[in-house]
Amino acid sequence: MTLLAVNRVTKRFRGLVAVDNVSLQVDAGAMFAVIGPNGAGKTTLFNLIAGVFPPDTGTISFEGERIDRAAPEHICQLGIARTFQIVRPFAELTVMENAAIGAMLRAPDMDSSYAQAGEILRRLDLWDKRDRKAHGLTLPDRKRLEVARALATRPKLLLLDEVMAGLRPTETDRMVEILRGINREESITILMIEHVMRAVMALATRVHVLHHGATIAEGTPTEVTRDARVIESYLGAEAFA
Amino acid sequence: MIAELFAGVSTRARVLLVLLAVVMLAAPLVLDRYLVSVLILVCLAAYTGQAWNILLGFAGLLSLGHALYLGLAAYISAGLYVHFGIGPWLGVFPAVAVCVAVAALLGWLAFRFRIEGVYFALLTIAFAEVARIGFDHIGFTGGAGGFFLPVRSEDQGQWWNLRSGPTFFYYLALLLAAGAFLLCAVLRRSRLGHRWLAVREDPEAAQALGIHINRARMSALLLSAGMTGIAGVFQAFYANNLFPSQIFDISRSIDLILAPIIGGVGTLFGPILGAFVLAPLGEVLISITGAIGLNAPGTKALVFGLFLMAIIAGVPTGLWPRLASLLRLRSVGR
């Protein structure tokens, strides 16, 4: 079943075509990765899905319902949560409060928001830091908090924008494990932008490759990494260095 | 509900809070008229400080024009009393309603056209200035010459018309201050309070978590304006005179925000502590400068300003966070 359908979407910024006629379909339960070099339009695509701005042409549907003109808060209420590539924690609030603000979207009251937030912080290895203010966290912890807060809104679809960036290999493996758990146990569909191929290969069921805003390939991780154009435009150095 | 509020509060803090409540309740029994009048100023400043703190401290919106709501409500309730004999307990409703309506207009303009930060503050000043100049020309309420509530000895004791002695006003101001404190404590833990904090910290991130930015901001603005309006009604019947050049003046707006700034923006107890420091400080300065013969105009303001600078330079986040950690009152968690 298709959960998210992006259909021939284009977005221009002052003549620059950031996303060029991109279509993709994310099936329920999938771990879908969007990869591509810097400036390929990945984050713009995320912002379009999350409702930060509308597409110039094309449509986006979630569970069969058009969302390409909906506001970000409405899209979150429908069940799509996102993280920000450049993390945006509520700096002066505690880690616990950050997560509870995510959880209160669906929790009946604040007590259960905090209870749910606590569970999610345990899951993301942040429980011991729950009473710290978010501005005091290290970058890996802020990345985890970003995921925790989005997850706390109990989404059906989780948009992850480079959550592995800046993590050490062991931390990456731990995050891969956490995300796999979220995907399997909570049956949350994941759409991720990721540069860390180690994570993509370990997690993704399907990979979509963007270059200069346009799609150049889509397939399973193995298919995509063998694609000549993908190797040339993106993987080249990384895959064979 | 109230018991729940103190769930995360340390025993030490509870004891101090009860002690403060007892001292404040007993104060008029032992203090003279003058000191009671100073305490009225303290309570009123604590109350208006809480109201303004909801807007900046919780929702992250800087208003430098809160005198607008103070003045509007003061004039409306005074006008209703003088011209139509409608007492303040009834008059407070239309007065607050007008404050909320004007705040809604201001908020609509600001949020509709994405006026944020300093520009929002400028808009609040503009609204207050319009009212100041406007009321200069409203003959119905005395214009620039001022509006006076009759002070007749035969009215004394009419508490239902707020025609009563300082002790009565004191307990009323104490009730307002305590009520605002409890309200803010409830709000800080509520869903709405969490929405405000999220929007204050990062509007875009809040929005991505399903929070409607403008609704959150508007609710804080309307509540803050309405609460300040109640203080305006109090002010009118306590002072018995109103001048547009005073009650709507930007210096009045600044007065309203000093207590929470000195005490600690965004904290629950900051506005109270700030009020306890500032109102007596002003009074003490008057008597000291008077006693040593420094009667040059502006001396008091100058020394007052120096004190403020010293406090802000010494503890930029406000006195309360520092004092709370000195007294080890900080509770963990929420």
In this prediction, residue B330 carries a pLDDT of 62
Residue B152 resides in a domain: yes
Q: What is the mean pLDDT of residues A155-167?
A: 93
CATH number for the domain that contains residue B198: 1.10.3470
A·B CB contacts under 8 A: 79
Nearest residue in chain B measured CA to CA from A74: B210
Residue that is written with structure tokens 């239309």 in the block: B94
Nearest residue in chain A measured CA to CA from B193: A101
Contacting residues of B for A114, CB less than 8 Å apart: 334
Instruction: Say what the ipTM of the complex is.
Output: 0.92
Nearest residue in chain A measured CA to CA from B187: A110
In this prediction, residue A87 carries a pLDDT of 93
* CA dihedral of A63, A69, A74, A78, whole degrees rounded to 10: 0
CA distances (Å), origin A125, targets A95, A111, A128, B245, B248:
12, 21, 8, 58, 53
Interface of B with A in 206-225 (CB under 8 A): 206-213
In this prediction, residue B333 carries a pLDDT of 34
Six-digit token pair at A138?
Answer: 């290290």
How far B216 CA lies from chain A's nearest CA (Å)? 12
How many folded domains does chain B comprise?
1
In this prediction, residue B249 carries a pLDDT of 93
HSE of B176 in the Cβ direction (CA atoms, 13 Å)? 29
Which of A47, A96, A104, A146 has the most B C-beta neighbours within 10 Å, making it the best mutation to test the interface with B? A104
Residue B317 resides in a domain: yes
Question: Inter-chain contact A72–B198, Cβ cutoff 8 Å?
Answer: no
Contacting residues of A for B213, CB less than 8 Å apart: 73
Q: What is the CATH number of domain A1-73+161-241?
A: 3.40.50.300
A90 → closest Cβ in B201, B210, B332: B201
One digit per residue, pLDDT tens: chain B, 334 residues? Answer: 566 677 667 788 888 889 999 999 999 999 998 999 999 999 999 999 999 999 999 999 999 999 999 999 999 999 999 999 999 999 999 999 999 999 999 999 999 999 999 999 999 999 999 999 999 998 888 888 899 988 877 777 777 788 888 899 999 999 999 999 999 999 999 999 999 999 999 999 999 999 999 999 999 999 999 999 999 999 999 999 999 999 999 999 999 999 999 999 999 999 999 999 998 888 888 888 778 877 777 777 788 888 888 988 998 889 998 888 888 776 433 3
Taking the alpha carbons at both ends of chain B, their separation in whole angstroms is 16
Interface of A with B (CB under 8 A): 50, 52, 71-73, 76-77, 81-82, 84, 88-94, 96-97, 100-102, 104-105, 109-110, 113-114, 130-131, 149-150, 153
In this prediction, residue B56 carries a pLDDT of 96
User: For chain A, where do the domains classified as CATH 3.40.50.300 start and end?
Assistant: 1-73+161-241
Residue B207 resides in a domain: yes
In this prediction, residue B332 carries a pLDDT of 38
pLDDT, tens digit (0-9, with 9 covering 90-100), for A76-125:
999 999 999 999 999 999 999 999 999 999 999 999 999 999 999 999 99
Residue B332 resides in a domain: no
Question: Inter-chain contact A110–B207, Cβ cutoff 8 Å?
Answer: no
Q: What is the mean pLDDT of residues A173-178?
A: 93
For residue B207, the SS3 value is: helix
Q: Is B202 on the interface with A (CB under 8 A)?
A: yes
How far A137 CA lies from chain B's nearest CA (Å)? 16
Contacting residues of B for A82, CB less than 8 Å apart: 208
In this prediction, residue B284 carries a pLDDT of 86
Q: State percent of chain A over pLDDT 70.
A: 97
Residue B333 resides in a domain: no
Nearest residue in chain A measured CA to CA from B331: A131
In this prediction, residue B292 carries a pLDDT of 81
Q: Give me the domain span that covers residue B12.
A: 2-326
Which of A10, A111, A149, A231 lies closest to B333, judged by CA?
A: A111
Q: What is the DSSP letter of B56?
A: I
In this prediction, residue B187 carries a pLDDT of 96
Burial of B97 (0-12, 13-18, 19+ CB in 10 A): middle
Strands A189-193 and A157-161: parallel
A90 → closest Cβ in B198, B212, B213: B198
Contacting residues of B for A81, CB less than 8 Å apart: 208-209
Which of A198, A93, A184, A183 lies closest to A147, judged by CA?
A: A183
In this prediction, residue B59 carries a pLDDT of 96
In this prediction, residue A240 carries a pLDDT of 46
